[in-house]
Amino acid sequence: MVSFKGRSSLKQYMPQKPVKRGIKLWSRCDAKTGYTYDANVYCGKDDVERSRTLGRTVVKKLCETIQNPNVVLAFERFFTPVRLMDSLQYPAVGTAIIIRKDMPKKFIEKRKVLSNQTNSIAIKWQDTKQVILFINCHTPDMTCVKRKDKTGQRVDVQCPTAIAYYNEIMGGVDLTDQMSAVYDFGRKSCKWRKKVFYRLLMIAVVNSWVIYNDLRLTQKKIPLLEFLFTLSEDLIEEGQQQTSVKLRRNSCGRSSK
């Protein structure tokens, strides 16, 4: 969510989010580094969205720009309708809501594992609360994970492999949102396009910082704030050089009376 309190038909209100009013951005990010591969501005319902759920429409739209097919998609329960896993051509995992449309009745009746003919698996797991997971790239195997008990000690707990895999690769969008908002520009404006531009500009800076640190294989990675200072100084210096060149051209081309 890009914070915006002005007047716009694109403004959304989500009371459960930290930023309650603003412009909504859908993004596809790397799970480990937070690199943003694609981002779309939510402009409201269209004809395609009326024929299927919003989450399925968003996932399909963001998957159109995938260049490397060797990827695994992970998304939250808002983006996981029951029929999404059967129509995706990529390995995917996502949580779901038990009251979701087309949810199988056998699964609602406290069944823990349910599979269909397209090799998609639904898993129900009771951790601190009930978790429902849909996945098309795993089998219903069990593994051990570390959890804290009531005394605060970490103990081994049996958990489905799909649940452990989802916890490992989930969180790329939250990481990107955190890094792009910690040093936000914060410019006040009544125009929504400027607020979106500032956020997209900061996302581009974060992407540059991620690439810069990846290229420094044998050197220590620099923090984001130091990268911002260096980048701003270079941009100011380049702007001053271009301005001086334009001034010299104007002075040489001026006629004397």
What is the predicted pLDDT for the residue at 205? 92
101 Cβ contact partners less than 8 Å away, ≥ 6 residues apart: 53, 81, 82
Summarize the confidence of residues 164-193 as an average pLDDT. Answer: 84
Q: What is the mean pLDDT of residues 38-53?
A: 74
Over the chain, what is the mean pLDDT?
81
Average pLDDT over residues 1-18: 86
Query: Is it the case that residue 77 has pLDDT exceeding 90?
Result: no
Q: What is the pLDDT of residue 256?
A: 47
> How many Å separate Cα 76 from the centre of its chain?
10
Percent of the chain's residues with pLDDT above 70? 85
Mean pLDDT of 167-182: 87
Tell me the mean pLDDT in the region 20-37: 90
What's residue 105's pLDDT?
65
Mean pLDDT, residues 70-84: 84
The residues, ordered by sequence, that sit 6+ positions from 247 with a Cβ below 8 Å of its Cβ are none
- At 79, the pLDDT band (50, 70, 90 cuts) reads confident
What would the mean pLDDT of 135-147 be, rounded to a whole number?
Answer: 79
* 52 against 149, higher pLDDT: 149
Alpha carbons 121 and 161: distance in angstroms, whole number: 12
**pLDDT surpasses 50 at 257:** no
